[in-house]
Amino acid sequence: MSKNFFKKTTNYLIYLLAFILPLQTHYLIKAGSINQQPWEFGNIMLYGTDILLILIILASLANKNFEQLKNNKTIQAIKWPVTALIIIAASSIIAAPDKTLAIYGLVRLTLGLVLFTVIATSDFNKKILITTVVASAVLQASWGAAQFLTQSTAANKWLGTSLHQSGELGTSVIEALGPDGRWERWLRAYGGFTHPNVLGGFLALALILTLGMIAKENISEADSKKFNNYDSFWHLSLVFISAALFFTFSRSAILASSLGLLVIISYNSRQWKKLLAPLIIIMITISACCWHYGYIYQARFVANSRLETKSNTERVDLTKNSLALIKNKDLLGSGINNFGLAVHEQIDNKQSAFWYQPVHNVFLLIAAEIGILGLVSFLLIMFWSFKNSYQAKNYLQLALGSTLLCLMFFDHYLWTGAFGIYLFWLMLGLAGRQDD
C-alpha cells in the first residue's frame, strides 16, 4: 500500500475520532468499589474511542509520521516536560493503593499524549477537523436540549448512557423556587455524557471554535470565499450550542466560554463588525432561555438552595483533602488515578463511596496524585502552549487555551475521564500545530 493511502486513512480516522469522541460506548473490565459500595472512579473500562485511537496510532506508524518528530519544532520544544510527566506519573505507581488502577491511569495519559503528538504532526485539514468537532457538539447540544425540555434521559448500553429523571437520587438537578412559590427540581442537560458539567465544557470549547472560525472569515479574500459556504452552519451552530450550554447550568462552562470569548473579542477589536452578528445570535438565544427559565439560573448562581449549599460544601471538603494529600506526599504523590483511594487510606475511611471523588481542580489533583514535580511538568506543557499561540498571534488557539485553563480550575474530567483526557490533548495538539 502507498504512503498516500495511510496518510488519507490517518486523516479520516482523526476526523472520525473528533466526531464520535463524546460517545461513551464501553466495555466494563473491572468494577470499582469502596467500603463495599460501587465506586465509579475505580472502574476500568475499554472505550470504543480507545480502539479508534489505537487504529490512528497504527496508521500513523504506517505513514511514518513519527519519523518526522526530530524536525517538528512543536515536539522538540516540549519533549523534556512530556518525558518528565510520563516518568513521574509512572513512578507514582509505587505509592498507589491500587496499582492496577494506577497503571490504567498511566495508559490513559500516555494515549492522550500520543494523540497530542498525532494531532500536532499529522498532515490533515485543520478546518475540516474543527468543523467535525462543532458538528459533533451540535448533535450533543440537540440531545441535551431535548433532555432538559422533556426532563428525562434515556438509558442505552450501546451509547453508554444512563437513565436520569429529576425525582431520582444521584441525578444532577437544580432546586429552584418556582413562580408559584413552590420548590421545583429541574434535570440539567446531560447529552451523551456522565454529567452536565462535562457536556458544558465540551459545548464551551465548541462555542469558542465556532466563534473563532467566524472571526477568521475575512482574513483574506481566498479564505472568505472558502468559508462563505459554511456561514449558515456556523451561525446555526451558535443557536444550538448556546441554548444547550444554558440548559447544562454549568457555572464553570459559562465562565470558561466567557473568558474565551473575551480573548477572541480583544484580538478582533479593530474588526468588531464580523463578530457583531454571532454575538447578537448568542445574546438573543440566551435571552430567550432566560425569559422562560431565568429563575432556575438565579437559584444556581445565588446558591441559596439546599443542593447548591451541599455542592459548595463538598467542593471545599475535596479541596481540603487534596491539600492534605499534597502535604503528606509532595514529591511522588499518592498515585495516578488513585485520589479517592488515597483519601480513603490516609484521611477518612468511613464515608460513602460518593464522597471519595476527585477534587474539582485539575492542578490540585495532579499535585496530589503525581506530586509537585508532576504538576510542574504539566504546567510547563501548558506554558509552552500559551507561548506558542501568543508568538504565532493565533487568537483562536489562545482562546481555546484560556477556556481549557478555566475548566481545569473548576472540574477534574479533563484529567480523569477518557473523553476529557482525549479532548484536552486534542485541543492542545491543535494549539501546537505549525500550519497557522
Burial track 343-371 (b if 16+ CB lie within 10 A, e otherwise): bbeeeeeeeebebbbbbbbbbbbbbbbbb
Smallest CA-to-CA distance from 198 within 415, 434, 431, 428 is with 415
pLDDT tens for the chain, 436 residues long, are 566 787 888 899 999 999 999 999 999 999 999 999 999 999 999 999 999 999 999 988 887 766 666 666 777 778 899 999 999 999 999 999 999 999 999 999 999 999 998 888 888 888 899 999 999 999 999 999 999 999 988 888 778 888 887 767 778 888 887 888 788 889 999 999 999 999 999 999 999 999 988 887 644 444 445 545 567 889 999 999 999 999 999 999 999 999 999 999 888 767 677 788 899 999 999 999 999 888 888 877 776 667 677 777 888 999 999 999 999 877 789 999 999 999 999 999 999 998 999 999 999 999 999 999 999 999 999 888 888 777 777 788 889 999 999 999 999 999 999 999 999 999 988 876 655 5
Q: What would the DSSP string read from start to end of 79-136?
A: HHHHHHHHHHHHHGGGG-SSHHHHHHHHHHHHHHHHHHHHHHHS---HHHHHHHHHHH
Residue 394's region, left for phi above 0, alpha for psi from -120 to 50, else beta, is beta
| 3-state SS, residue 287 | helix
Beta strands in 203-296 (DSSP E): none
pLDDT of residue 190: 95
Q: Where do the DSSP E strands lie in 4-72?
A: 26-30, 33-34, 37-38, 44-47
What is the pLDDT at residue 228?
A: 55
Cα 338 to Cα 330: distance, rounded to the nearest angstrom: 15
Rg (Cα) of the chain, in Å, rounded? 22
Q: Domain map of the chain by residue range?
A: 3-431
